[in-house]
Amino acid sequence: MKLLVVGNRVPWPLHDGGAIATYGMLRSLAENGAEVDFFCFNTKKHYAENATIEKYFGFCRVHLVPLDASIRPWKALKNLFFGGSYHMERYWDDAAANQLFDCIKSKNFNCVMIEGLYSMPIALDVMQRCKNLSTDQTNSMKSNAAGEMLLPPRIWVYRSHNIEHQIWERLASTTSQFLKRWYLALQSKRLKAYEIGAWKCVNAIIPIVSTDAAVIQRDLHPEGPKIHVYQPGIAIERPFSFVHKPLSVFHIGSMEWDANVQGVMWFLQKVWPRILLLEPQAKFHLAGKGLKKEDPRFFQTGIVNHGEVEDAEDFMQSHGIMIVPIQAGSGIRIKSLEAMALGVPLVSTSVGAQGLQISSGTELIIADDPENFANGVIELLSDPMKSQAMTEKARAYVELYHNLKRNTADLLVFLGQLKDLN
């Protein structure tokens, strides 16, 4: 299968769940026999040098396109009164759309896979151009240098990383500041309209959890796009190794994502003081992309701010119990799967554990109020035997449900069926 994947960022370095999931999928698609081209924006936030692409993306052909998705105050203000979803407007670029169209015209792709909602603005534009070509009897794509007749791709699929508007709805509902809550609610409403509209334009949708699939199905016509759940997988390369770390708790995740920041602040304000009352010598280790060591919010008793770390897996295996305090989100937390595979005990909110077929007290501890969350952490700190038993079950779960190679092979079967139907 000749597959073109369109992404809104370069998935490198592997410092966050989105990068880990996308990179793993691309590599696994190639290992499972697909011929993969990857068209992606090269933004200032996730900028990659050509040397990085050559070193880490040898399994596919990468098309890097520069794009500035920075928030611009004047455009944001104008959008407030006269625009649609500002999140989507930031990812529109005429030149990028033209380059994607040229890329498509260079090869007979069987399928175009759109990675995440922020890739949609240019993808939808190019999709319409391709449909116009399909109805043009002169076939303006003509042929390539080898004389091969080129035809527009007939299969367009959308890989949904999250139900994006739900994230913003939850952020709005948990924000105490009136103006911020109003603004987030407005943007979530606009984003919802865009997101549902985008779903209706593709041949198939690939969510990462069944709960997201149910939401998508609810908002679509019964005869709408086909749906296939592709659970993110982990390439289990490091062996399972449980080591009890007394009095050590940690969080790792991008602090450039509002949902992570909100969750960490909830933990520090509501949960951490309760833990210190019982374990005054405990340490909370904090790491992640965009984390500034000089941030005064983290100058608190027992907090060790590591900033952005070089090796996330080493960090996770070195600092005891992982917490996932997220209050708003969708999809699956890839970092949680990594921790479960490595032998790291977890305490998470219900939102942080959504999408996982697990139960509290078996593979991890789930708690949503400060008292129970703190009690869960204390329990794992004080009972290494329970922590080990829990991590062993968590590892078995990941091996059963999140095997990267097997899940990707199933995805390719699904895409092949779509191709055969057309």
* pLDDT value of position 144: 61
In the predicted structure, residue 126 carries a pLDDT above the cut 90: yes
Q: How many domains does the chain have?
A: 2
For residues 346 and 413, membership in a common domain is answered with no
Which range of residues forms the domain containing residue 102?
2-233+403-421
For residues 198 and 105, membership in a common domain is answered with yes
Does residue 65 lie within any of the structural domains? yes
Q: What pLDDT digit, counting tens, does each position of 55-72 carry?
A: 999 999 999 999 988 877
In the predicted structure, residue 135 carries a pLDDT above the cut 70: no
For residues 22 and 170, membership in a common domain is answered with yes
CATH code for position 58: 3.40.50.2000
For residues 97 and 209, membership in a common domain is answered with yes
For residues 306 and 258, membership in a common domain is answered with yes
Q: What pLDDT digit, counting tens, does each position of 204-254 carry?
A: 999 988 888 998 998 887 778 999 999 888 877 667 788 888 899 999 988
Does residue 242 lie within any of the structural domains? no
Backbone φ/ψ region at 138: left (φ over 0), alpha (ψ -120 to 50), beta: alpha
Does residue 307 lie within any of the structural domains? yes
In the predicted structure, residue 155 carries a pLDDT above the cut 60: yes
For residues 37 and 100, membership in a common domain is answered with yes
Q: What pLDDT digit, counting tens, does each position of 398-421 carry?
A: 999 998 999 999 999 999 998 766
For residues 137 and 172, membership in a common domain is answered with yes
- What's the residue count for the chain? 422
Residue for token digits 């990267």? 404
Please give the angle made by the CA atoms of 226, 234 and 241, to the nearest 5 degrees: 155
d(CA 293, CA 337): 27
In the predicted structure, residue 378 carries a pLDDT above the cut 80: yes
Side chain identity, residue 52: T
For residues 254 and 193, membership in a common domain is answered with no
Does residue 241 lie within any of the structural domains? no
For residues 16 and 130, membership in a common domain is answered with yes
For residues 152 and 58, membership in a common domain is answered with yes
Does residue 263 lie within any of the structural domains? yes
* pTM beyond 0.85: no
Do 318 and 283 meet the contact criterion of CB atoms below 8 Å apart? no
Does residue 93 lie within any of the structural domains? yes
d(CA 231, CA 377): 28
Does residue 347 lie within any of the structural domains? yes
For residues 98 and 222, membership in a common domain is answered with yes
How many of the other CB atoms lie within 10 Å of CB of 413? 11
Percentage of the chain modeled with pLDDT above 90: 56
For residues 49 and 198, membership in a common domain is answered with yes
